[in-house]
Amino acid sequence: MALTVAAHRRGIHVAEPQHGLIGPAHAAYNFGSAMSGGPLRETLPDTLLTFGEFWSRGLRVPFDTVPVGKPLMTARREAAPPASERERILVVVGGGHEPEETAQATLAARAALPADWQVLFRPHPFERPTVRERYRAIVGVPGIGIDLEPDVLTTLSRARAVLGTASTVLYEAVGLGCEVIVRRSERLSTLFVDVSALPEPVADGPELAARIAALGEGEPVIDEALLHALWAPGPRARFTEFAAPFL
């Protein structure tokens, strides 16, 4: 905030690039009227650069939002093979919350899948140093691997399906053509799961097992309008257009 204030006092336009999950439930992107003027307004950016127009829906911010896309996502989507041609991999996303429930869902997914499917558990970056203690129940289980690939888009480009609760990775999985399954959470689903972009969450137990068992029954349907809303096309051109007046 201090750097933003200093930039504004020198007449510098401040643009903040989106870096993860944002929306109506995110306190850093929803402000009351007190932030719209005076010293408090100086602490906020002039523009929020989003992955696509979807992410600005419902925000309450006193600055402009400009959808510029994400170049790496666009490049990976263009290079990735269709989901039906990929390895039979289900990625379970560890969002950094509810580790016990997530571990049990991972075990349930493994039990519901045929033997020729691999389950990859991907811990949240902050969980990596302690993943063996935090997820003791799944470490070393046959057919369950721990995904430590630095770039999540590399993993998603290989996978057919993704299971998670509340994570930007679920929206990235949509962008890369994966079949997405969302676990229901009383604490998280209503805050972070937008059913206009993600499937209706399913409950743990028989409902989740049945959904997992149905994986691979046809190619996931890609909604081009939704895809472009989440991940705006032509990101380099969009950013060049945004930046041109300041160069």
Question: What is the predicted pLDDT for the residue at 185?
Answer: 86
DSSP helix/strand/coil, 179? strand
> What's the pLDDT at 26?
85
Query: Which residue's structure tokens are 């970056």?
Result: 125
Count of beta carbons in the 10 Å neighbourhood of residue 70: 22
- d(CA 97, CA 63) in angstroms, rounded, equals 31
Q: CA separation (Å) from 174 to 22, 67, 81, 84?
A: 16, 18, 14, 14
pLDDT over threshold 70, residue 218: no
pLDDT at residue 191 greater than cutoff 90: no
- Secondary structure of 145-162 in HEC code, one letter for each residue: EECCCCCHHHHHHHCCEE
pLDDT digit string, tens, across residues 77-135: 999 999 889 999 999 999 888 889 999 999 999 999 999 999 999 999 899 999 999 99
Beta-bridge partner residues of 91: 120, 162
Question: Is the confidence at residue 221, as pLDDT, over 90?
Answer: no
Pick the CATH number of 75-221 from 3.10.129.10, 3.30.350.10, 3.30.230.10, 3.40.50.2000: 3.40.50.2000
Task: Give the pTM.
Answer: 0.91
Give the closest residue to 198 by CA, choosing from 185, 180, 211, 183: 180
Phi and psi torsions of 89, nearest 5°: -120, 130
Domain ranges of the chain: 2-69+232-246, 75-221
pLDDT in tens, 18-70: 998 898 888 888 999 999 998 999 999 999 999 999 999 989 999 999 999 99
Task: Scan for tokens 């869902």, then name that residue.
Answer: 105
